[in-house]
């Protein structure tokens, strides 16, 4: 099988870091695309030391020109792009009645606009090859409005679900699948935005009684990127310990 090339946005930490590790185990080359180049380079180095291939590229997914450059650099280096994981995102807990326009725009720029335009850029080479996988990281908040998150985060993650289904219909005949994973609260840096009482409420609400692990999300992403998931498109896979059963 040909070596496949994947871009993982927000690939330096948390779920993204777990995804590039899962990809490495499958022989997939990862482009670790992250705003923090130092941490991304460290992650890519660790993947290379494990015997797989990875490279780090700095990108701000809220900037369309940087997204386009990311895909261009990937194509120049490897000559192909097979998989895109839209993982980069930020949390916002600010309530609807006090959130500012600038914060709203910032959250939507990263969590939604970044997904839209990274997908657009990646779809060009995928359509040319007639094969591709796009996996978007949504959230439980996109399903049920969230537990302690703010409206910008919930709205952005719900929009990712709608976008996933839209794109899945548009590019299915091109041999490309588009799916999303909607994790519940997961053990990553993003939960640092919650206070003690909010974390207690979240844990109490999870039927399985614990937070998710990044590796559990990553293995699902790796499955969706594989040939085994060739007949799955437009799906939203919920990984949340039973908090949402849709």
How many angstroms separate the Cα of 227 from the Cα of each of 4, 180, 181? 11, 16, 17
Cα R_g (the chain), whole angstroms: 17
Q: Which of 128, 152, 15 is nearest to 79 (CA)?
A: 128
Instruction: Scan for tokens 């969230």, then name that residue.
Output: 146
Q: Which of 53, 36, 61 is nearest to 121 (CA)?
A: 61
How many angstroms separate the Cα of 86 from the Cα of each of 46, 147, 209? 21, 23, 28
Options 78, 96, 153, 244, the catalytic residue: 153
Q: Respond yes or no: is residue 153 known to be catalytic.
A: yes
Say how many Å lie between the first and final Cα of the chain, rounded: 36
By the 8 A CB rule, do 31 and 58 touch? no
Token pair for residue 182? 């909607």
Sign, CA dihedral 102-107-110-114, equals: negative
For 10, the enclosing helix (H) or strand (E) is: none
C-alpha dihedral over 69, 70, 75, 80, to 10 degrees?
-140
Residue numbers annotated as active site = 153
């Amino acid at each position: 099988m040909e070596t496949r090339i994947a871009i993982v946005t927000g690939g330096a930490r948390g779920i993204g870091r777990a995804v590039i590790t899962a990809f490495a185990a499958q022989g997939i080359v990862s482009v670790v695309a992250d705003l923090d180049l130092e941490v991304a380079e460290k992650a890519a180095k660790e993947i290379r030391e494990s015997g797989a291939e990875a490279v780090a590229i700095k990108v701000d997914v809220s900037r369309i020109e940087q997204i386009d450059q990311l895909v261009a650099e990937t194509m120049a280096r490897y000559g192909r792009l097979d998989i895109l994981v839209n993982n980069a995102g930020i949390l916002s807990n600010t309530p609807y009645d006090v959130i500012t326009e600038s914060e709203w725009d910032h959250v939507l720029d990263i969590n939604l606009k970044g997904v839209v335009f990274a997908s657009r850029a990646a779809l060009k080479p995928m359509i040319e090859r007639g094969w591709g996988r796009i996996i978007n990281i949504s959230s439980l908040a996109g399903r049920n409005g969230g537990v302690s998150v703010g409206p910008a985060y919930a709205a952005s993650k719900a929009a990712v679900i709608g976008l996933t289904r839209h794109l899945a219909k548009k590019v299915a005949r091109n041999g490309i699948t588009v799916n999303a994973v909607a994790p519940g609260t997961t053990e990553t840096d993003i939960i640092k935005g919650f206070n003690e009482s909010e974390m207690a409420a979240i844990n109490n609400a999870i039927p399985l009684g614990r937070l998710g692990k990044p590796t559990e999300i990553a293995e699902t992403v790796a499955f969706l990127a594989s040939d085994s998931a060739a007949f799955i498109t437009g799906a939203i896979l919920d990984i949340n310990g039973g908090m949402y059963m849709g």
